[in-house]
Structure 1
Amino acid sequence: MLNFNQYFDKNPDLRHLANPNQKALDSVFDIIFLERKNKKSGYYELPFEQKALQDSEAYIREHKAFLDSIKNIVIIGIGGSSLGLKAIDGLLSHLSTRKKIQLAFLEHTDPIEVKKSLHNIHIQDTLFIIISKSGTTIETSSLMKYVIHRYSLFENAETKSHLLFITDEESPLYFLGKKEQIPVVSISKNIGGRFSVLSSVGVLPLMLLGYDTKRLLQGAGEFESNFFNRKEEHLLKKAIFLAKNRDRFPINILFSYSSAFKDFNSWYVQLWGESLGKFDIYGKKVGLTPISLIGSIDQHSFLQLITQGLMDKTITFLSIHQAKYIEPKIPDLSFEYLESTDFVNGTSLAKLLGLQQTATMETIQSEGIPTDHIELEELCEENVGKLIIYFELLTSCVGGIFNINSYDQPGVELGKIRLREIFKIL
């Protein structure tokens, strides 16, 4: 279960903006309803489809003997091809069902990081998964070439079995896999990378790691169904508030109170930034700037700016219900000169973290800064599925109000074109 609380009306000047009328809510809902109906993006269907589950189960069944022996999975992909998977594993890695398989990521061409990630990686117990919509993204293709060369993966049928391609139907990478008789799992072309984690891009590796991916999709499907049955109106209200106040509050902070959210925050930053920073239909540049913070760590590096800097930010607090985490506790110890810290003695670390979040949230609210709070009852597959689809739907709603295409990335493509031009003159 996820609990949603919005405090946008704590500031009297914002109350009329925090409670949009029914006509406004209906208007935004209709935009998203038509997007799904017209299949503008395939992500809307992912929680309800069986394709990812069936394709993943088929791959695992056909390669069971090999997969039973692997100790490492190396993901080669960038952005949406890796961030969602990394986020979910980071949130759920504490579960007892998580297999003891090392998960490594090759995401960019930093030579130091590449060497570090491949240290002690041996071909005999490793599966290399190349995830790319096309296979032509220069970081992914370069890293794939490096790994294939380093481990002689194209040498014969046995070495090729250590490779798996996850890509768009009939993409260049798809055809390469078919030609070289490398296992290929395809996804719909209509699913953008940053919206793809509930497809085989995320489902297959997560299944290999031992997670219950059916429950992940069920959680996402339950929340999405509730949304389209008008049972999650808070999401529409938040989208309208953020979009209509984009000039006053152009910065949106996700302040997550657990280190388990670190990679999820990175996924959010890409989803929000790449989806919403666009030209609208009138040729005007629009967008919202995402910032990722982890509490309580970033209370000591960013809270000062939030409370007494420019009031141009909204804050979403994200946390886990701490009542079940009663250990470890702070020992009842008192030291000379440190008596001022004794007020927390006997308190669990989880409770302390929760109270730190409460104190931070109340401090920010007292300054009139718009906040809301999402709390997960527990970190499990269903709740993570709900959290993923919540942020995807929120992004689509804001993009709809902005009159933009939330699912392309022309600015990113310009950078790719410029890179090719630079290489031509070298």
Structure 2
Amino acid sequence: MSKLTQSSTWQTLQGLSKQLPHMRQLFAEDPQRFSKFSARDCGLLLDYSKNRIDAQVMQLLLQLAENSGLPHKIAAMFAGEPINTTEKRAVLHIALRAPADADIRVDGVNVVPEVQATLAKMAAFIEALYSGKWRGCTGQKITDVVAIGIGGSFLGPKIISEALKPYWNGKLNCHFVANVDGSCLSDKLKMLAPETTLFLMSSKSFGTQETLTNTLSAKSWFLGQGHTQADVAKHFAAITSNVAKATEFGIDADNIFPMWDWVGGRYSLWSAIGLPIALLIGMDNFLALLKGARAMDVHFAATPLSQNLPVIMGLLAVWYNNFQGAQSHVVLTYDHYLRGLPAYFQQLDMESNGKSVTLDGETVDYTTGPVIWGGEGTNGQHAYHQLLHQGTALIPADFIMPLQSHNPLGVHHQQLASNCFGQTQALMRGRTYAEALAELQDSSLPEAEKQLLARHKVMAGNKPSNTILMNKLTPETLGALIALYEHRTFVQGAIWDINSFDQWGVELGKTLGNDVLSRLAATEACTALDSSSNALINLFRQQKI
């Protein structure tokens, strides 16, 4: 057994995990339960009262955090220590939204001035496009930007841009390309004119396979429309660490934005990777997004653990994952603009905490990252919510909703809220056999059929959920919400003693994919791999089954 699972705190939590009464009883016994198990800051309210917890469980979870050195680990991240131990890197996405007068050091150098310089460069870039100072090779204004990236260089910008659609200023159109499937890029190019299109390539190495392939194809399309290599500089820009490769491609050095080793891709939307967001909503709104995230950073670093929003959410996730047998976690957004958020949190959590060894390289003897999934709330109610209510799996849920709509229309938002709050109540309460039978008493069914139907309508309840509310979805509240989940992810990794900031599983897939690519291009039949891979490669080369 590991030090973690041998600890008295862990053992006590295991003992309590099956002893708690039903949440119905917990609410009945304590009329003040909501006030005791809710917290608010940074424009967000977290109601975690509908969880399988009591004061003792929360106290023990907080003790687990203390025993795991969470306060020290938080301080180490903010101090720029190399907490990404396998790559010997600092983890400083918090520096991307730090105030200009902050002093955050990597290898003794304050990185904040470079971050601020990049923000200023982004602002000048945007203004040049908005004003028409930047023009294409034929003298026309740029009307469309195609953002090419993958992973965090794609998901963050795309999903946050969608979430902030009410703040789009209409000065530019932005299109996102990630999938190396040729249909993805082709469909976008059919809508565009090369003379008025700017391609924005995001790759730290300027060599990420999917991103480079899409960028090279975009360049071929551009040149194929009668333009020259000299014209490329007016229609391509890049976010990369490899300035040499970008300039060799034809991109002007003035239009290359930096990426830093101390920022992981899934934490990078606050940097120049977020340029597509800023192009759509303007630099002032992008800075407001950073401001909201910075407020959550301050909260996370300074607030006592017992009232700390990311700490509470992270500890609850550990409670269900390690002591209640939950294997997945669902995120349900009751706002159309936030519909992509579950996919963003999916990458954030699963790429960070999908690990099976501790920082010391020992195999864990406890479960780590759960499967994260979800979607729009009301749509899910007519689909997978059935599993949440009556399925055999325990699936904790997060419900996210703004109190005010950007598009008030009749009773729409009131109905949306009623569904959100009603679902959390139904998950908590459930329906007993007696209640189901009572509801059928006025029907004309025979008594035996009533009893049978009642059994099918029973829901155990006691299904946990968090509700996160904000007054309105704004750049600032969204920034705080994203940072909340970033830090929640960190808390889980700190408890599990894993590195939440590398992704060697992703790297293996890239390596093997490149090997397969070379075999697909070979002239001789593939025989060197396993029988399945050999057969699939050879079938692809034959282009028929």
The two structures share one fold, judged by TM-score above 0.5: yes
Kindly indicate whether residue 174 of structure 2 is the aligned counterpart of residue 99 of structure 1. no
Select between 47-56 and 294-303 the one with higher mean Cα deviation: 47-56
| 1:11-410 equivalent positions in 2, closer than 5 A | 11=52, 16-20=56-60, 23-26=63-66, 27-37=69-79, 38-39=81-82, 40-48=90-98, 49=112, 50-60=116-126, 65-66=133-134, 69-95=141-167, 98-152=169-223, 155-168=228-241, 171=242, 174-179=243-248, 180-182=250-252, 183-202=255-274, 204-211=275-282, 212-230=285-303, 232-247=307-322, 248-281=325-358, 282-284=362-364, 286-322=368-404, 327-329=408-410, 348-366=411-429, 367-410=461-504
The structure 1 segments of at least 4 consecutive aligned residues displaced by more than 4 Å after TM superposition are 61-64
CA deviations over 1:39-89 (Å, ceiling 9, x no partner): 531212111142441221243456651269222110111110011111221
Which residue identity does 1:17 align to in structure 2?
A: V
Question: Contact 1:75/1:128 (CA < 8 Å) preserved in 2?
Answer: yes
Question: Contact 1:28/1:397 (CA < 8 Å) preserved in 2?
Answer: yes
Decide whether aligned partners of structure 1 residues 150 and 355 sit closer, same or farther in structure 2, where only a CA change above 3 A counts.
Answer: same
CA deviations over 1:339-397 (Å, ceiling 9, x no partner): xxxxxxxxx11100110111111111221112111112111111111111111111111
Once residues 52 and 112 of structure 1 are traced to their aligned partners in structure 2, the CA distance between those partners, rounded to angstroms, is 33
Decide whether aligned partners of structure 1 residues 7 and 57 sit closer, same or farther in structure 2, where only a CA change above 3 A counts.
Answer: same
Once residues 122 and 63 of structure 2 are traced to their aligned partners in structure 1, the CA distance between those partners, rounded to angstroms, is 43
Which consecutive unaligned segments of at least 5 residues does structure 1 have?
A: 330-347
Once residues 79 and 123 of structure 1 are traced to their aligned partners in structure 2, the CA distance between those partners, rounded to angstroms, is 26
3-state DSSP of counterpart to 1:317: strand
Decide whether aligned partners of structure 1 residues 72 and 56 sit closer, same or farther in structure 2, where only a CA change above 3 A counts.
Answer: same
Once residues 207 and 392 of structure 1 are traced to their aligned partners in structure 2, the CA distance between those partners, rounded to angstroms, is 21
Decide whether aligned partners of structure 1 residues 234 and 20 sit closer, same or farther in structure 2, where only a CA change above 3 A counts.
Answer: farther
CA deviations over 1:215-249 (Å, ceiling 9, x no partner): 11111111211221116513212212212431412
Which residue identity does 1:98 align to in structure 2?
A: N
Once residues 510 and 478 of structure 2 are traced to their aligned partners in structure 1, the CA distance between those partners, rounded to angstroms, is 33
Q: 1:127 Cα shift?
A: 1.1
Q: What TM-score comes out, normalization by structure 2 length?
A: 0.69
Which residue identity does 2:134 align to in structure 1?
A: F
Q: Which has the larger radius of gyration?
A: 2
3-state DSSP of counterpart to 2:311: helix
Which residue identity does 2:464 align to in structure 1?
A: P
* Matched positions, count: 399
Q: 1:152 Cα shift?
A: 1.5
Decide whether aligned partners of structure 1 residues 16 and 293 sit closer, same or farther in structure 2, where only a CA change above 3 A counts.
Answer: farther
Question: Contact 1:8/1:18 (CA < 8 Å) preserved in 2?
Answer: no
Which consecutive unaligned segments of at least 5 residues does structure 2 have?
A: 1-42, 83-89, 99-111, 430-460, 521-545
Decide whether aligned partners of structure 1 residues 264 and 52 sit closer, same or farther in structure 2, where only a CA change above 3 A counts.
Answer: farther
Q: What TM-score comes out, normalization by structure 1 length?
A: 0.87
Once residues 234 and 369 of structure 2 are traced to their aligned partners in structure 1, the CA distance between those partners, rounded to angstroms, is 44
Which of these residues, 40, 46, 60, is aligned with residue 4 of structure 1?
Answer: 46
Q: 1:325 Cα shift?
A: 6.3
Which residue identity does 1:175 align to in structure 2?
A: A
Once residues 107 and 125 of structure 1 are traced to their aligned partners in structure 2, the CA distance between those partners, rounded to angstroms, is 21
3-state DSSP of counterpart to 1:318: strand
Percent pairwise identity: 23
Once residues 92 and 328 of structure 1 are traced to their aligned partners in structure 2, the CA distance between those partners, rounded to angstroms, is 19
Once residues 368 and 85 of structure 1 are traced to their aligned partners in structure 2, the CA distance between those partners, rounded to angstroms, is 37
Once residues 418 and 59 of structure 2 are traced to their aligned partners in structure 1, the CA distance between those partners, rounded to angstroms, is 28
Q: 1:250 Cα shift?
A: 2.1
3-state DSSP of counterpart to 1:254: strand
Question: Contact 1:17/1:241 (CA < 8 Å) preserved in 2?
Answer: no
Once residues 354 and 146 of structure 2 are traced to their aligned partners in structure 1, the CA distance between those partners, rounded to angstroms, is 31
CA deviations over 1:241-285 (Å, ceiling 9, x no partner): 212431412211101112211222221111111111012222237
Q: 1:29 Cα shift?
A: 2.6
Q: 1:100 Cα shift?
A: 4.2
Question: Contact 2:320/2:396 (CA < 8 Å) preserved in 1?
Answer: no
Once residues 269 and 86 of structure 1 are traced to their aligned partners in structure 2, the CA distance between those partners, rounded to angstroms, is 14
